[in-house]
Chains A and B, each alone.
Chain A
């Protein structure tokens, strides 16, 4: 069993806590003038996404989680699983259940390279690329010349996701989106 000592704690380190894999969000070394030192960390449960605070007596060993981040290309969905392939040339494929996909399903149409977090060799979470380019399939007709008012309207994308776009955008146009906040970034000239 691999373990980490608290002095190895840093953001992103993956730990097993009460049977679940966690990642360290941040860690603070706390010590009174005399006496016991502690590592006070905020940790995120990789299964539920919940963040909690935990304290360790400094110098303790903590079980490492067998968690790895790998780049994988999204291939297709069979309705139950989303299929991914390693980009390292091994062509090895992995099937991610819906619980691992969460928000990622909103932005994927195929061929995007995603960050797939594997726990015991099974996909645990899928993080889409920070930016994706998708076509608008449905929106109100564009208001010509309105590039300054800052107004927005809803638009349905080819993945079925609805986002807010500027008033001048039209159907069939391609938009660039920041997947971390789900916001429109720019128009992509086709």
Chain B
């Protein structure tokens, strides 16, 4: 052991985190948003085929560590909680690197009656408060506009062959079979993100419908798009927000599609959260919500290049 048990973050990074949490709680309190806690270990897990949950074997069966508190928080919303937020640790297996730590801190919050656009504006206010180094107003662009402006490709109407040619033209050599969305993900992460202004927040909205997760899908000029947005600080993704899907039948369909895709990709099946689906049936109020990665926020604030410097004991030291 070469670390002698010492933390990976300096004392000032721990102080910055404490202050960040205080600022968030103040912000939420001023707006009358209620702080809540929900279980971290549940009998059901996230079905998203691109997110791996840790499972814990207990004497009464398998439990899953939450990858975000989305399901139980929506159960609270359906039970009439009104606006709520949560600051919590979440876990995602096999996500480690300079910008990933398998255990990380999340702010998740929901605004009842909000539109996606109104939530984006409130998130911009919150982030401007938390990131004093960002002084220019944020940019708002659709997923399609990003592709058109950077690569002259329409993501909603482009062939795999054209995406492959575009990747090759950008000297991206990739191993492994990718589907159409995989190629879009590749170009977005390898080329488009790098063009984001490093001193500015960028909001990207209207993702392809197949990436809707539990966001509402609408038709935009004849194309189905998800009312889902992501917010970036420079090229670093900070959060993922939805105009929440309120249709119970569609929610159940999405979880079934996830299950089918997991099966197709040879991934372990994850039991869908039936209590969440029951709450959806009882009725989720029209709302918008977002999950923000707090460790990455601290990374932007401090100008450090790896999460290790803002997490007291990074994954390999934990």
Taking Cβ atoms with an 8 Å cutoff, the residues of A that contact B are 7, 27-38, 40, 52-60, 62
Contacts and interface: CB of A to CB of B under 8 A. Distances in A.
A34 B176 contact: no
B171 interface: yes
Interface residues of B, number: 33
Contacts of B240: 33-34
Contacts of A54: 173-175
- 10 closest A-B pairs (Cβ-Cβ)? A57-B176, A29-B97, A36-B185, A33-B240, A35-B185, A55-B174, A60-B176, A36-B182, A33-B230, A34-B211
Interface of B: 48, 50, 94-100, 171-178, 181-182, 184-186, 188-190, 207, 211, 213, 228, 230, 237, 239-240
Contacts of B190: 30, 38, 40, 55
Contact of B99 (A29, A33, A36): A29
Nearest to A9: B97
Contacts of A35: 50, 181-182, 184-185, 211
Nearest to B177: A57
Interface-centre pick from B50, B99, B228 (highest chain A CB count, 10 A): B50
B201 to A, nearest CB: 15
Contacts of A27: 97
A52 B175 CA distance: 14
Given A32-B185, A34-B228, 8 more contacts: A30-B189, A34-B48, A34-B50, A34-B207, A36-B50, A38-B185, A56-B175, A60-B175
B214 to A, nearest CB: 11
Contacts of A32: 185, 188-189, 230, 237
Is chain A's interface secondary structure helix, strand, loop, or mixed overall?
Answer: strand
9 contacts: A29-B95, A31-B100, A32-B189, A36-B178, A38-B189, A55-B186, A57-B175, A57-B176, A59-B94
A60 B182 CA distance: 14
B196 to A, nearest CB: 13
B50 A55 contact: no
B70 to A, nearest CB: 13
Nearest to B204: A33
A44 to B, nearest CB: 15
Given A31-B100, A62-B175, A57 B189 contact: no
Nearest to A37: B50
A39 to B, nearest CB: 9
Contacts of A59: 94
A186 to B, nearest CB: 28
A36 B100 CA distance: 15
Contact of A34 (B100, B186, B213): B213
Contacts of A57: 174-178, 182
A177 to B, nearest CB: 29
Contacts of A33: 230, 237, 239-240
A2 B190 CA distance: 29
A38 B228 CA distance: 22
Interface-centre pick from A34, A36, A55, A58 (highest chain B CB count, 10 A): A34
A56 to B, nearest CB: 5
Nearest to B237: A33
A7 B93 CA distance: 10
A26 to B, nearest CB: 9
B211 to A, nearest CB: 5
Nearest to B100: A29
A161 to B, nearest CB: 35
A40 B176 CA distance: 13
Nearest to A60: B176
A103 B181 CA distance: 46
A54 to B, nearest CB: 5
Given A29-B95, A31-B100, A35-B182, A55 B173 contact: yes
A1 to B, nearest CB: 16
Contact of A28 (B95, B97, B171): B97
A60 B98 CA distance: 20
A175 to B, nearest CB: 33
Contacts of A53: 171-173
Given A29-B96, A33-B230, A38 B186 contact: yes
Contacts of B48: 34
A72 B70 CA distance: 58
Interface-centre pick from B96, B173, B175 (highest chain A CB count, 10 A): B175
B165 to A, nearest CB: 16
A8 B96 CA distance: 11
